[in-house]
Structure 1
Amino acid sequence: MVPRAEFRSYYGRPILKRPTWKVPDVPGYLFLGGTAGASATMAAVAELTGRRELAGAGRWVAAGASVAGVAALVHDLGRPERFAHMLRVLKPTSPLSVGSWILAPFSTLATASAASQATGRLPGLGRFAGFGSGVLGPAMCTYTAVLLSDTAVPAWHEAYPELPYVFAGSALTGAAGAALLCAPRADHGPPIRMGLLGTAMELAALHRVERRLGLVGEPYVTGRPGRLLTLSKALVVAGAGLSLVSGRRAAPLLAGGAYLAAGLCTRFGIFAAGIASAQDPVYVVTPQRQGLGAAGLP
């Protein structure tokens, strides 16, 4: 067997600069933002279908997760005014700029809806704000995947077709888990179905990432990222199975906890996989050489 080639860069420095985003701030924000977005959309649909208690639970989760996510993002930036500076210009070609303009109105609307529900004041405006955050919910679930894919980090960039589906599926299971923990048992039907849909979407997209990317997909199945994503798969399957157990009072609580833990493992695993691929020159050099070879260039 020919040993695996070792790739070196000048002076032993990485070819790509390691992302400077902090842990746990950014992976935590990825999880909180997705859960908030899916919860807001679930609440809007529940309001339209007459499930008021489920809608209320979804609003609380959306508001709490969005506020916590903004706090994590501001902590990563270092100074609150830096977030405000990102809103000075809307640049459609920049996922970071567009994402900032998704996050700001979403968190405002979600918080306003929950505040109206808590105080009983301006219920009409509160419902309008809830529907507004629900409309923005799908974008909240997926824009962070586009943001990661738009970087030069190999494991993120090469997975650009699948990452939005991974994040969307994980957001659905996260919101379903929160609803199973917070909503009354009579309203568990929609969250259960949402969790099953999210489980299927996430597992299918992750499987495709691992199979399609080849060498660049190695960080998703090896080392610490691989262990986190393996645990995520086990937890999400456990959550789906427990959500279908009837007659056991603890089953929805266990399912909800498993779903939320799976969402955290997914975001931390994907984040760690990207960092690992940026630090190892083999994931940067080999795909470029393969691309040149396919194009018939030396």
Structure 2
Amino acid sequence: MSRGSPRGGRGRGRGGDRPMVPPAEFRSYYGRPIVRPPVWHHDIAAYLFTGGLAAGSALLAAGGDATGRPALRRAGRVTALGALVASTYFLINDLGRPARFHHMLRVAKPTSPMSMGTWILSAFGAAAGVSAVAEAAPLLPGPLRRLLPPLGTAGQYGAAVLAPALATYTAVLLADTATPSWHAAYPELPLIFGGSALASGAGVGLIAAPPSEAGPARRMAVLGAAFELYGAHRVETTKGILSEPYTRGRAGRWLRAGRALTVLGVAGAVLGRRSRVVSALSGASLLAASLATRFGVFDGGVASAADPKYTVIPQRERLARRAEDGQPVRDPRAT
């Protein structure tokens, strides 16, 4: 046998044993997805937006009440309840039957984002409902007129305490799935969703309050935009091939629109602080930006699950890194 014989699939040369079979390319049966794509529809994307809006509005109401700005307090309370009702509708509509929402309240499972989210949503709803109803106290008879304001204040601050959890638990819910681009972005999704919630709540304040009362809303807008833009930038640039679904197709268009609207909204909030019209337009821009961001993140995850390369290539990269580090490598195809 000659020295360079390929017997056994290997040849011995100066560099030692060399594999004679080229590395296999990724593929799946008939090009079908390897992980199951999310069964959620765009009702869930709307649910992500309205839940964040409810959380941001609750924080706006608490800030307005604490600083003596009744227009911000009133707008925040009413919007928090309205957005929560819409969020609950979108969730139940996606579940298919209202009874399924009720069934999730039978247990509390701390390791389940869905279970914890259901309880957070319910507790927030009770608090936000009391605080919103309290705004009607001047129209009610004497005893209720005296009783509701303290209850409304308690509910308002209770909702504000729960608001960060309401704004970010949906990010944990997405990242906890096997959907490749959602799972890879688990450190940034809470930052994006929390920032988006702040920005949308600020948008409500900029629309509803006169410029003289909108100071806290402007500060919320700047802070929320900074979190949202930073998190989105990292998701789009630091996840290797798993960043692609966030920059291409419909998801890419949503996220680019969200980024542009966020910048416009913050610029208007800061530069147009004396103009009611500019402030209102800035608020509308921030609300539209938050909606676009949530839909972009949702569509990016769905796109990553639909294409098998976003499952196979990162998996092989992880196996290669483990092999380079001298760690034991198990072929994922082995059973």
Q: How high is the TM-score relative to the length of structure 1?
A: 0.95
Identity level (%): 52
Structure 2 residue 170 is matched with structure 1 residue 144: yes
For 2:73, which of 55, 79, 82 is the aligned residue? 55
Q: How does 1:14-163 map to 2 (within 5 A)?
A: 14-23=33-42, 25-120=43-138, 121=144, 122-163=148-189
Structure 1 residue 45: deviation in Å?
A: 2.6
Q: Distance in 2 between matches of 1:76 and 1:169?
A: 25
Farther-moved stretch of structure 1 (110-119 vs 234-243): 110-119
Kept in 2: contact 1:225–1:273 (CA 8 A): yes
Deviation string 1:223-260 (CA, Å, 9 cap, x unpaired) is: 11111100110000000111123343310111011001
Matched AA of 1:239: G
For 1:209, which of 226, 235, 238 is the aligned residue? 235
Structure 1 residue 13: deviation in Å?
A: 2.5
Q: Distance in 1 between matches of 2:212 and 2:286?
A: 19
Secondary structure, aligned partner of 1:72: helix
Structure 2 residue 302 is matched with structure 1 residue 284: no
Deviation string 1:2-47 (CA, Å, 9 cap, x unpaired) is: xxx9732124421111111121x11111011011111112212322
Farther-moved stretch of structure 1 (56-65 vs 41-50): 41-50
Equivalent residue for 1:199?
A: 225
Matched AA of 1:170: S
Q: Distance in 2 between matches of 1:208 and 1:173?
A: 19
Q: How does 1:183-194 map to 2 (within 5 A)?
A: 183-194=209-220
Matched AA of 1:103: L
Secondary structure, aligned partner of 1:250: helix
Q: Distance in 1 between matches of 2:296 and 2:25?
A: 25
- Unpaired runs of 5+ residues, structure 1, are none
Q: Distance in 1 between matches of 2:277 and 2:62?
A: 27
Q: Distance in 1 between matches of 2:209 and 2:54?
A: 15
Equivalent residue for 1:239?
A: 265
- Radius of gyration: which is bigger? 2
Matched AA of 1:101: W
Equivalent residue for 1:295?
A: 322
Q: How high is the TM-score relative to the length of structure 2?
A: 0.85
Deviation string 1:157-195 (CA, Å, 9 cap, x unpaired) is: 000001100111111110111111112322111101110
Q: Distance in 1 between matches of 2:61 and 2:310?
A: 42
Structure 1 residue 74: deviation in Å?
A: 0.8
Farther-moved stretch of structure 1 (146-155 vs 50-59): 50-59
For 1:220, which of 239, 243, 246 is the aligned residue? 246
Q: Distance in 1 between matches of 2:202 and 2:276?
A: 17
Secondary structure, aligned partner of 1:151: coil
For 1:13, which of 29, 32, 36 is the aligned residue? 32
Secondary structure, aligned partner of 2:37: coil
Structure 2 residue 302 is matched with structure 1 residue 275: yes
Kept in 2: contact 1:6–1:282 (CA 8 A): no
- Unpaired runs of 5+ residues, structure 2, are 1-23, 139-143, 324-328
Structure 1 residue 97: deviation in Å?
A: 0.5
Ranges of 4+ aligned residues in structure 1 off by more than 3 Å = 246-249
Q: Distance in 2 between matches of 1:249 and 1:176?
A: 14
Secondary structure, aligned partner of 1:244: helix
Secondary structure, aligned partner of 1:67: helix
Kept in 2: contact 1:54–1:184 (CA 8 A): no
Equivalent residue for 2:141?
A: none
Equivalent residue for 1:168?
A: 194
